[in-house]
Chains A and B, each alone.
Chain A
Amino acid sequence: MLEVKDLVVAYGRVQAVKGISFSVEEGQIVSLLGTNGAGKTTTLRTISGLIKPVSGEVWLDGERLDGTPAHAIVTRGIAHSPEGRKLFPRMSVEDNLLLGAFTRRDHAGIKQDLDRVYALFPVLGERRQQPSGLFSGGEQQMLAMGRAMMSRPRLLMLDEPSMGLSPIMTQTIMRTIAELRASGTTVLLVEQNAQAALTLSDKGYVLEVGRIMFTDTGEALLRDDRVRRTYLGLDL
């Protein structure tokens, strides 16, 4: 469904992404792995229209996506939970979630999805009227995830969704991602927790300094020596 071709992205004269190509099939979970500064966040930001690429193409369901303004890309069915959350700290939890659903107008469906998020993360439901800035880092991460779900995206892009979460919450997030896929959402995942991410993933791409070094299925990557050494920290 998503197709990225020869994407080059630069900040000023520094190229952060140096011509990468990859694809995400409908109903899959695909992971982008890479060391710090490899260009994962840059890639996601480019897909969601927040940065304009220098060259290359992004296609969604056979339609060209690059060059479309960011707000219109949300309407196309892509939601992006950005790195560092980017919540609206002075707005309440509920307002944050409703902003996630900004492009939708089906009130009944929005209400239903609100309840779903509150059921998933009870702490959000209990404090729905409080400003999100008062929440702990992990709680804010849950809100960011919930907010991204609120637009009922066909493609959900998550940038380090487990950042700052306790192991038990990380499990909840991973389970949620699996459930989302089961209900038909495609997921493009960036994670430092390679073990958890690859266990879920159908496919993984490994980036290094702006280039894709290799790719394989999630299982195969979990067994790959290079991955085990660099990302799982195993002594071989």
Chain B
Amino acid sequence: MNDTGSLVTLAPDSSGPAPTGERWIRFAKPARWIAIAGAVGVLAAPFMAWAYRPDALDDVSFWGEPSPLQWFAFALGLLLLGCLVAPFVIKPRPGRRPRRLLAFNRGAKAAASGSLVYFAVASAAIVLELGGLVALEPGAWAGLAGALVATVATRALPEGHDPRLQFLNTPAWGQILGIVGAVALVLFAAAYGLGQDGASTFVTFGVLCGVGVYVAARVGVMGWLSAAAARNRRALVLAAFAVAFLFPMTQDGSDANMSIAVGVLIFAATAMGLNIVVGLAGLLDLGYIAFLGAGAFTAAILSRSAFATLGWSPPFPVVVLISGTVAAILGLIIGSPTLRVSGDYLAIVTLAFGEIFRITMNNLDGVDGPNLTRGSNGIPAIPDLELFGFDFGESHMILGVQIGRFANYYWLMLLVLALIILVFTNLNHSRIGRGWVAIREDERAAEAMGVNVFGLKLLAFAGGAFLAGIAGAVKAHVDVSVTPDQYIFMESAFLVAGIVLGGMGTVGGVLIGASILKLLPEKLRFFEDYRLLMFGVLLVVMMRFRPEGLMPDERRQLEFHADDDELAEEIGENIEAHVIPSLAGAPEPDLKGDDA
């Protein structure tokens, strides 16, 4: 076994083929001009009609008047052209060893492929919806051809060095400015994207954003941003929260998007609570939604609804605590017998627990058991919250902007989310967090270090349940009614999927992952039927290309970034070149497939 293995590994090392780009280097000059011609094609396409009839892709049948969807294509064209032309304008600084801060060729390759995908998908959608290739008008052909030409031509451009922008010495205010700018851009994109009613426009805008981020990453801007963000954590957090706080202001009192936004926040807060259990302590909980349900039912029963079954309604802050506690007690009950066994058993037991919870809620209807939840009818007509004289059901004028019911709850949920994130980060960096990581790595060795493995697992389980219970208490009031069928297994599965997608054990990653998973089906009704299939495919793709999630955990990146600060300074002083490629290349080990 061993012998053949070593023989096989020896072979490719000695005679590996040259990277695609470098082999065609002598064609680089003409290729650039051909690619520019392609980019012009992409830029021209939006001003022509793409489809014969208006009923595909939110109407792209006009000449000279681009629809939003066509403007997105125009933006992609600009991005592509920019990357191609930039090297003429921005020359590398002369010197003993020229320093290239940005990798424009890589950006051009990414932008060209992105445009091609964009036009291919758009054309396919038109062909499918309108029946046949005849439905395609010259605009679609021009875009397809331009993008194809650009994609092929950019293959001949050399890859160039890894971009070194992230090692550029930037003053602190410059870094913070960059962070604030990026976060503001995210707010703008979110507000604009949510404002799109047409499903196709929404999807294509998402694609534009995705391609934009990808190009920025390839060019080297993202590296700089994440380095700046790592060094200015507090600024990043403040900016992110300020933006999230301002979001309702962009909605002109419209409740349509705010109700979606509240849903996203509730989902994200729950995912963040589960992130403590799964991401930090490494316990796979497939029934977590039951804790959200426990909190919601508790709050509903204790609310002033005419259908509440207890007839006792304490003030909301008390209700929140009781809801959290009920959920935590459930967590203890389910956790104490099961946390002694590890791994797969826990997943199975929690899965069963989630179902038992739902069925129990269905049966506490006065027929099969005491009347607590009114069975499958649930508890409707839960009144809006009133906290410190602030009525969450009413619209308010704040700074001249109408703030509706859902916007009120949005702000409340933002507070809850902030609380959960605070708990999460504090735990993560505490002694307890270290104990959890040790348990995740090696349970027996952790025990030998004096880590109370069972106790810490139970703490994670019950603590996570408590936080979900709090979120559930708010959710009950947002949703107005609480029924058992809101808390099905599928929701638990999506929570876990959001965490895996974003990056286990991280804050930013899980927020992004949860938002994506919740937002897509809300915005795309047609997507509803296929959402399981899509998420399945998405997760499989993720596991293959980026198993650590969109934004991996810093502990997992330790290896690559150990001496980042020192190195950045060293590089600023032009010290030995050979250190740099290994460092700069390390964080993106999986991206090389994209140029093939």
Contacts and interface: CB of A to CB of B under 8 A. Distances in A.
A188 interface: no
A203 interface: no
Interface string B72-114: 0000000000000000000000000000000000000000000
Contacts of B259: none
Contacts of B452: 69, 71-72
Given A91-B441, A102-B434, A130 B447 contact: no
A206 B453 CA distance: 35
Given A95-B434, A99-B434, A130-B562, A50 B448 contact: yes
A70 interface: yes
A171 interface: no
A70 B448 contact: yes
B441 A88 contact: yes
Contact of B445 (A88, A92, A105): A88
B583 to A, nearest CB: 14
Contacts of B445: 82, 86-88
Contacts of B450: 71, 74-75, 102-103, 151
A90 B556 contact: yes
A131 B445 CA distance: 16
Contacts of A100: 449
A88 B445 CA distance: 8
A69 B443 CA distance: 14
B558 A130 contact: yes
Interface string A141-167: 000000100010000000000000000
Interface string A60-72: 0000000001111
Interface of B is mostly: helix
A91 B437 contact: yes
A191 to B, nearest CB: 20
Contacts of B34: none
A124 to B, nearest CB: 14
Nearest to A133: B559
Interface string A76-108: 000010100011111110010011101101000
B435 interface: yes
A74 B445 CA distance: 12
A131 B554 CA distance: 12
Nearest to A151: B450
A71 B559 contact: no
A99 B452 CA distance: 12
Contacts of B435: 99, 102
Nearest to B431: A102
Nearest to A85: B445
Given A86-B445, A88-B441, A71 B555 contact: no
Given A98-B434, A102-B431, A102-B434, A91 B555 contact: yes
A95 B453 CA distance: 17
Q: Which of B441, B448, B453 has the most CB of A within 10 A?
A: B448
B442 interface: yes
Contacts of A99: 434-435, 438, 446, 449, 451
A80 B438 contact: no
Contacts of A89: 441
Contacts of A130: 558-559, 562
Given A50-B444, A88-B438, A88-B441, A102 B451 contact: yes
Given A90-B556, A129-B558, A131-B558, A82 B448 contact: yes
Interface in B527-567: 555-556, 558-559, 562-563
Interface residues of A, number: 30
A75 B90 CA distance: 63
A129 B562 contact: yes
B562 A102 contact: no
A54 interface: no
Contact of A86 (B448, B451, B555, B559): B448
Nearest to A88: B441
A155 B557 CA distance: 36
A71 B447 contact: yes
A80 B448 contact: yes
A70 B438 contact: no
Interface in B210-256: none
Contacts of A105: 431
A31 interface: no
A91 B438 contact: yes
B373 to A, nearest CB: 40
A115 to B, nearest CB: 19
A140 interface: no
Contacts of A90: 441, 555-556
Interface string B421-447: 000000000010011011001101111
Contacts of A129: 558, 562-563
A168 to B, nearest CB: 27
A48 interface: yes
A134 interface: yes
Nearest to A147: B449
Contacts of B438: 88, 91, 99, 102
Contacts of A147: 449
A104 B139 CA distance: 70
Contacts of A75: 450
B562 A95 contact: no
A92 B558 contact: yes
Given A91-B438, A99-B434, A74 B449 contact: yes
A129 B564 CA distance: 11
Nearest to A134: B559
A88 B452 CA distance: 16
Given A99-B434, A134-B559, A74 B448 contact: yes
A77 to B, nearest CB: 10
Contacts of B559: 130-131, 134
Contacts of B562: 129-130
Contacts of B453: 71
Nearest to B432: A102
B215 to A, nearest CB: 32
Interface in A119-141: 129-131, 134
5 contacts: A71-B450, A88-B437, A89-B441, A91-B437, A103-B450
A-B pairs with lowest CB-CB distance, top 9? A74-B450, A103-B450, A86-B445, A70-B447, A88-B441, A71-B452, A129-B562, A99-B449, A102-B450
Given A75-B450, A90-B441, A102-B435, 16 more contacts: A48-B448, A50-B448, A69-B452, A71-B452, A82-B445, A82-B448, A86-B448, A91-B437, A91-B438, A91-B555, A98-B431, A100-B449, A102-B431, A102-B434, A102-B449, A131-B559
